[in-house]
Amino acid sequence: MSQCKTNALITRLLWEPSHVVRRTESAFEGKLLAVSLRFDAFIASYLHRHTFNHDITAEKSKRNPRTFR
């Protein structure tokens, strides 16, 4: 799922008016759990990318120190 679609879905889940869709408390909790899990996945993805990119940069600087001064 693209980041744009994920953001749109999270926005819809958070701001959907309760009078438009009648939901039980458990359904609402399910939506909050879904948003929480997606947020956790986003943070994990961000941390993975940051760590991965940092490792690549460190590896390149070892091979050619002049490139990364």
What's the full length of the chain, in residues? Answer: 69
pTM score above 0.85: no
Q: Tokens 């679609």 map to which residue?
A: 5
Q: What is the pLDDT of residues 2-23, one digit of tens each?
A: 777 777 766 776 666 655 555 5
Sign of CA dihedral 13, 17, 18, 19: negative
C-alpha 34/C-alpha 10 separation (Å) is: 9
Question: How high is the pLDDT of residue 39?
Answer: 82
